[in-house]
Structure 1
Amino acid sequence: MPENQTINKNQTLTEEDYLDLFRKSNALLDGHFLLTSGKHSAQYMQCAQVLQYPQRAAVLAEGLASAFRDKEIETVIGPAMGGILVAHEVAKALGVRALFTERENGIMRLRRGFSLSPGEKVLVVEDVITTGGSVREVLTVVQEMEAIPVGVGVLVDRSGGSVDFGLPKRSILQLKIEAYDAQECPLCAQGIPAIKPGSRKI
């Protein structure tokens, strides 16, 4: 995809086109990483690297938004931190509002005066999923407020498509990146320190 690619809602981009945006942004990292799920991995997709470029973020968001335009979505919501920019950009593409959840005492909640109304149609988004744990927490928040989750959109599905939320799901990229339980991690066995993405300049 050319550097100055403009958004065309009628244009269909391939997975290779989207992957090219991540490659240009140096978003795929190699090392030893401790994931949010608690699993370990030798690779990590740092979506913040591509989302720092507004034009690229808009292209990715349009890809997600296009799959849900017929769902009459009223609000897009994602978990902090990774889902904040994704929710904002997808909401912008759909012309609706964007919210984000945060953990308070370990529990995912809506804070900052944010709220959902009973019956409100909500799209849940995230940057990367491995097990889908954070998305499930956000879905619980939505359901507890009696709003209606109508779908899940993610930039990168590390499960290769195996995670099922019982809702329509759209991912920009599906990657099967191996993830290990800590006790079975070959990188731990080699004595290589695990880094939690977001720390140590990552």
Structure 2
Amino acid sequence: MTQDEVLAEFREAGALLEGHFILSSGLRSPVFLQKMRVFQDPVRTARLCTALAAKITAQFGQVDLIVSPAMGGIIPGYETARAIGCDAVFVERVEGEFQLRRNFEIPAGARVVMVEDLVTTGLSSRECLAAIRHYPGILLGAACLIDRSNGTADIGVPLVALCTLDIPSYPADALPPELAGIPPVKPGSRGLAA
């Protein structure tokens, strides 16, 4: 699947939004990828994750387990694992730190890839990878549907992306005039009250 085909999937799902958005990192951006609009369509999601699975196995070979961060990584992690033919588990925040719960395990010797939905700064990826490193599996690397950082996010392991974009993001106190004139919205889920 080409980058243009990936973006077409997001556009057709109404998931490629333009405006002034507050990202989960706190940065501001004129573009927001509302991936849940993509994930509401099982056929579209399977198409994207099957393509991601092919890139993962081409890069890392055999994969025994996919680990994803909750919430946004659960669906692509599961669908990618289904395409690969392995199990999928997820980490979730406990007192602000990612941990495996629900009796999930990473067995010794298991070949593990972390799968995310999107990477912007790489913060949640690094946090998820830190949780994975507490277990005896073999961490091969990470993968995502879209790398918004254009390959600049350093997550500490090789990152495979189905699509790599150069979408600008800015600190709230350094907005370009065209963005500063638009009221910001926060469409993501991080930071919502429990």
Q: Which TM-score applies when normalising by structure 1?
A: 0.85
Matched, 1:101 2:71: no
Helix, strand or coil for the counterpart of 1:32?
A: strand
Aligned position for 2:11: 23
Residues 24-43 of structure 1 correspond to what in structure 2 (within 5 A)?
24-43=12-31
Matched, 1:169 2:159: yes
Counterpart contact for 2:126–2:156, Cα < 8 Å: no
Which structure ranks higher in relative contact order (CA pairs < 8 Å, sequence separation ≥ 6)? 2
User: Which of 99, 108, 116 matches 2:106?
Assistant: 116
Counterpart AA for 1:85: I
Counterpart AA for 1:119: G
Matched, 1:88 2:56: no
Percent identical among aligned pairs is 38
Aligned position for 2:134: 144
29-38 or 99-108, larger mean C-alpha shift: 29-38
Q: Provide the rounded CA distance (Å) in 1 between the counterparts of 2:183 and 2:155.
A: 34
98-107 or 189-198, larger mean C-alpha shift: 189-198
Q: Provide the rounded CA distance (Å) in 1 between the counterparts of 2:32 and 2:151.
A: 17
188-197 or 137-146, larger mean C-alpha shift: 188-197
Aligned position for 1:52: 40
Q: Which TM-score applies when normalising by structure 2?
A: 0.88
Q: Provide the rounded CA distance (Å) in 2 between the counterparts of 1:56 and 1:111.
A: 29
Q: Provide the rounded CA distance (Å) in 2 between the counterparts of 1:196 and 1:23.
A: 17
Counterpart AA for 1:136: R
1:171 to 1:114, Cα distance in 2 relative to 1, 3 A: same
Counterpart contact for 2:69–2:116, Cα < 8 Å: yes
Counterpart AA for 2:27: K
Counterpart AA for 1:195: K
Q: Provide the rounded CA distance (Å) in 2 between the counterparts of 1:55 and 1:158.
A: 23
Counterpart AA for 2:173: Q
Q: Provide the rounded CA distance (Å) in 2 between the counterparts of 1:63 and 1:193.
A: 33
Counterpart contact for 1:182–1:188, Cα < 8 Å: no
Counterpart AA for 1:82: G
Helix, strand or coil for the counterpart of 2:76?
A: helix
TM-superposed deviation, 1:190: 3.5
* Unpaired runs of at least 5, structure 2: none
TM-superposed deviation, 1:43: 1.2
RMSD of aligned Cα (Å): 1.9
Helix, strand or coil for the counterpart of 2:151?
A: coil
Counterpart contact for 2:66–2:77, Cα < 8 Å: yes
Q: Provide the rounded CA distance (Å) in 2 between the counterparts of 1:26 and 1:196.
A: 14
In the TM superposition, what whole-angstrom CA distance separates every residue of 1:88-146 from its partner, at most 9, and x where no partner exists? 00000011111111111111111111111233211101111101111111111111113
Q: Provide the rounded CA distance (Å) in 2 between the counterparts of 1:109 and 1:151.
A: 18
